Structure 1
Amino acid sequence: MSADVTPADGPVVVVGMGVTGCAVAAALAARGHEVIVADDRPSEAAGRIARTDAAFGEIHDSTDAALLRNLLSGAAAVVPAPGVPPRHLSYTLAAAAGVPVVSELDLAAQWDSRPLAAITGTNGKTTVTVLTERMLNRSGIAAVSAGNTDIALVDAIDRDVAAFVVEASSFRLHRARRFAPAVAAWLNLAPDHLDWHADLHDYAASKARIWAAQGPDDVAVVPFGDTDIEPWTSGIRSRRVAFAAPQQLEAPCDVRYERGVLVAHGDSIVAAAEMPRRRPHDLSNAAAAAAVALEMGASVEAVATELRSFDGLPHRLAFAGHIGDVGFYNDSKATAPHATVAALRGFSDAVLIAGGRNKGLDLGELAAIAAHVHGVVAIGEAAGEVVDCFSQPACGRIELARADSMPEAVEAAHRMALPGRDVVLSPGCASFDWYSSYGERGEHFATTVADLAERLGSRIPTGDRR
């Protein structure tokens, strides 16, 4: 939908009362709209809302077709929360009633015109979002990150800042039509969320919407030489800025690595050796964040200072300590095989803990890191798929085990680990078979490592071994 939604148009139906749904409902009400709220689990939603200061009246059951059809009768628009899939009743009934489906990103674009950067990608978007936000703030440009975070964009626009940095998931972009970031980056593409999207093409098409509404004065940040993303760049009307991965030596593009130094538009930024996080994917994230931040007005000095101090985010290859001379790393955020492959390529002879709830993806992709692991502990619902993957003759001789709990997995991995090598929790799957979130899974891994170290009488150092 491209037209603005005004209070005079009629009520707006918000479906899905999670963090973003509640923020959307509150933002609409604050702007004079009549709001009707619905959720597939209204009792659970009521409990969540009761723990906040919000009050939206009755929470309707969005699985009831007759009820939802009645709610949509005469509505100005329906705003599904990002996690509500396209096959949901709210879409089909809205289409039948001629009611526009509006995204949270489009509402924010209607209500606020301050500059924003947006970042999407299968992996690394949270890190690049946070890095960009910090680079801008270090430059004296008050910025806040929003979107696929704890802060919805419609909530963030009520803050007194100069700019926004939006982590734009495929769910959020899927229905965006007028969202036009001043700077928009697409980092990478690999199969993910195929339990939500119809197929890989639909997933990629959703991500490509990050550039769709941009104009000639905007900037599209693209990964240099990425053959998966390049076909989706043909319709770009904005100015392109390309960034290169560290292995693309002397790449003829705007932001790249030259002799181990990050260079942007001819200016030397920082040597890779000075960055606390400098595995290959870390360096790619650094280049992308520098490209976005500089286009948003950040200074070269602020970008360099941030990259020299940034030590990563929780659950993204976070160092969990040593047990004896074996290092443990928490990469619980890796919920797709592509993320696990990217992480393990920075290790040699590691033990991988992988598995969980598969999101409809091909876990066979994990075989690409067979040369980087000598042992694999499979966990969760997808344990059988993980074992099958690494049992293929092409993977060579890899020690395999299954574990029915995180403590069992950590102990098995510790027994397998070679002296001076590492254990990496990088599941390649969602956490929802055993945990409520990847964060809970990562925290349990970290506490389990600490517990095992205490039982074995081994101190947990804080320094990462690189």
Structure 2
Amino acid sequence: MPHHHPSDSSQTPAPAGNDNPFTGARVCVAGLGVSGPPVARALLARGARVVVVDGRDDDTTRPVAAALTEAGAEVVLGDTPLPEDCDLVVTSPGWRPDSPLLARATEAGIEVIGDVELAWRIKPADQVWLAITGTNGKTTTVRMLESILRADGRDALAVGNVGTPVVDAVQPDSGGHVHDILAVELSSFQLHWSNSLRPHAATVLNVAPDHLDWHGGLDPYARAKGRVFARGTIRVVNTADAWSVRLAEEDGDPHTPVVGLRLDTPRAGELGVVEDLLVDRAFVAEPHSSAEELATLGDVRPAAPHNVANALAAAALARSVGVAPASVKAGLAAFVPEPHRIAHVASVAGVDYVDDSKATNPHAAAASLNSYASVVWIAGGLLKGAEVDDLVSGAVSRLRAAVLIGADRERIREALAKHAPDLPVVEVEGPEPGAPADHTVMDAVVARAAALAEEGDTVLLAPAAASMDMFTNYPERGRFFSDAVHRL
């Protein structure tokens, strides 16, 4: 497959006539969450008449509302009416499609879009988007991609759930500058509310059950992710993930290339791994007879299998805009993983302690457990309706013991009793009685795990569940764990 120049198919057709359809339009912005304020400001800057509605009326929303009112928006707190004579609704990604305001808008024939769709419509025509979605690994892959693009001297920015809201990244900053290339992290919610989005290249990293309550099942959840493979988009596919392959086949344009990723020897048109090398046989002049070495496994940190897959996805998207092989290597080597993602905390008495508090669902925890040979597993929290049977049955050969915490620990204990009846399992409800004031529940957890571990084992915090039953969020859960390990 030849090199694809960014100008090939990534551009949106220019809107006919008026290139600012928002002037004078009455637009309802639903929700004052993370995306609401930047959306409202972008619309105000384009001369729209903006009404922002949010059901909350509290100390968090009031100052935000006051700032938007001053900027020229009308704000309604404590209620979510559909404004009169409304032309368009821009919803926060978290609002469910069946929420009353959105249902009323749909019934009335008013278009409902999300922040990403709005950003796509107002972006400069020559700005290139490289898009990443998937149940797990999105943020890591987006940040790897940004690092690779910058190593190649490109004016690139990672956007989405990684810092800059996508709506802000398509508009000039205070110095009048707009980035040339965006590495865009997209959730299933954002994709659900996007209909004309057409990235230059995109990937679905993987699909596993998550957010099923919002989407109403696995099929609609997966289909939302598949919307990233729009007509004309180069499709980057994880060959080991059935949904990734299926969505590319069903939702993409048959005239646009599909680039496969695999953790073994790549075929023509794929990226893969040969011994300890990451190799490209897709974006080269002669895919059938030649290959380009991109990096080594040593450049990928950590080199756990799922993270090598993330690195290959980032490399493929970068290569789709002609990034040099040496820049892939330099970008991966320069990339620093985020905290609480398979982070090595310490080694104590020959036992490694690893914090993967970010593993908030079973699919992420499975990737984590897969990275170590003998594990004392710390798990539990809020399962959000997810099943743990497959996770546990797939990990049995690697488990030495388990320490369970949190509201849904019983379900994990049942799965362990079924698949690993002889495995030592300990449950911890709270801090040890009489523990020092600075000790948390994690001190008790780490102490029990340390007692169960033997030299050469890994004590792995990979909860497979959300944290809000016991902690503020997953970073706090991870921080308490590493503090407890250091006290140990």
- TM-score, structure 2 as length reference: 0.85
For structure 1, the residue ranges without an aligned partner over 5 or more in a row are 454-466
- Shift in CA distance, 240/5, structure 1 to aligned 2, threshold 3 Å: same
* Partner in structure 2 of residue 324 of structure 1: 349
Shift of 1:195: 2.6
Matched, 1:211 2:229: yes
Is this contact kept in 1: 2:147–2:331, CA < 8 A? yes
**2:198 aligned to 180, 195, 202, which one?**
180
Instruction: Work out the CA distance in 2 between the residues paired with 1:98 and 1:347.
Output: 53
Is this contact kept in 2: 1:377–1:403, CA < 8 A? yes
Matched, 1:422 2:442: no
Is this contact kept in 2: 1:374–1:397, CA < 8 A? no
AA matched with 2:138: K
Of 186-195 and 234-243, the range deviating more from structure 2: 234-243
* Partner in structure 2 of residue 91 of structure 1: 102
Instruction: Work out the CA distance in 2 between the residues paired with 1:399 and 1:122.
Output: 31
- Shift in CA distance, 53/176, structure 1 to aligned 2, threshold 3 Å: closer
Secondary structure (helix, strand or coil) at the match of 1:277 reads: coil
Secondary structure (helix, strand or coil) at the match of 1:13 reads: strand
* Partner in structure 2 of residue 110 of structure 1: 121
Instruction: Work out the CA distance in 2 between the residues paired with 1:300 and 1:123.
Output: 26
RMSD: 2.3
Instruction: Work out the CA distance in 2 between the residues paired with 1:382 and 1:243.
Output: 37
* Partner in structure 2 of residue 31 of structure 1: 46
**Aligned positions of 1:9-20 closer than 5 A:** 10-20=25-35
- Shift in CA distance, 51/268, structure 1 to aligned 2, threshold 3 Å: farther
**Aligned positions of 1:353-372 closer than 5 A:** 353-367=378-392, 368-372=394-398
Shift of 1:9: 5.4
- Shift in CA distance, 436/418, structure 1 to aligned 2, threshold 3 Å: same
* Partner in structure 2 of residue 255 of structure 1: 271
- Shift in CA distance, 48/187, structure 1 to aligned 2, threshold 3 Å: farther
Secondary structure (helix, strand or coil) at the match of 1:239 reads: coil
Instruction: Work out the CA distance in 2 between the residues paired with 1:436 and 1:97.
Output: 40
- Shift in CA distance, 19/48, structure 1 to aligned 2, threshold 3 Å: farther
Secondary structure (helix, strand or coil) at the match of 2:357 reads: coil
Secondary structure (helix, strand or coil) at the match of 1:68 reads: coil
Shift of 1:117: 0.3
CA displacement 1:367-393 (0-9 Å, x = unmatched): 11121111111111111111111111x
* Partner in structure 1 of residue 333 of structure 2: 308
Instruction: Work out the CA distance in 2 between the residues paired with 1:315 and 1:54.
Output: 38
**Aligned positions of 1:196-345 closer than 5 A:** 196-212=214-230, 214-215=231-232, 218-224=233-239, 226-232=241-247, 233-237=249-253, 239-246=256-263, 248-265=264-281, 266-345=291-370
- Shift in CA distance, 54/182, structure 1 to aligned 2, threshold 3 Å: farther
Secondary structure (helix, strand or coil) at the match of 1:27 reads: helix
- Shift in CA distance, 173/425, structure 1 to aligned 2, threshold 3 Å: same
Secondary structure (helix, strand or coil) at the match of 1:7 reads: coil
- Shift in CA distance, 298/322, structure 1 to aligned 2, threshold 3 Å: same
Instruction: Work out the CA distance in 2 between the residues paired with 1:234 and 1:170.
Output: 17
Instruction: Work out the CA distance in 2 between the residues paired with 1:284 and 1:68.
Output: 45
AA matched with 1:341: A
* Partner in structure 2 of residue 137 of structure 1: 150
* Partner in structure 2 of residue 460 of structure 1: none
Indicate the percent of aligned positions where both proteins have the same amino acid.
Answer: 32
Instruction: Work out the CA distance in 2 between the residues paired with 1:441 and 1:263.
Output: 37
Secondary structure (helix, strand or coil) at the match of 1:75 reads: coil
AA matched with 1:21: G
* Partner in structure 1 of residue 402 of structure 2: 376
Instruction: Work out the CA distance in 1 between the residues paired with 2:62 and 2:405.
Output: 32
Secondary structure (helix, strand or coil) at the match of 2:90 reads: strand
Secondary structure (helix, strand or coil) at the match of 2:308 reads: helix
Shift of 1:12: 1.2
* Partner in structure 2 of residue 409 of structure 1: 445
- Shift in CA distance, 172/397, structure 1 to aligned 2, threshold 3 Å: same
Secondary structure (helix, strand or coil) at the match of 2:464 reads: coil
* Partner in structure 1 of residue 285 of structure 2: none
Secondary structure (helix, strand or coil) at the match of 1:398 reads: coil
Secondary structure (helix, strand or coil) at the match of 2:259 reads: strand
Shift of 1:229: 2.6
- Shift in CA distance, 331/52, structure 1 to aligned 2, threshold 3 Å: farther
Matched, 1:447 2:476: no
Shift of 1:400: 0.8
- Shift in CA distance, 240/34, structure 1 to aligned 2, threshold 3 Å: same
For structure 2, the residue ranges without an aligned partner over 5 or more in a row are 1-12, 282-290, 430-440
Shift of 1:253: 4.0
- Shift in CA distance, 381/47, structure 1 to aligned 2, threshold 3 Å: farther
Shift of 1:428: 1.0
- Shift in CA distance, 272/8, structure 1 to aligned 2, threshold 3 Å: closer
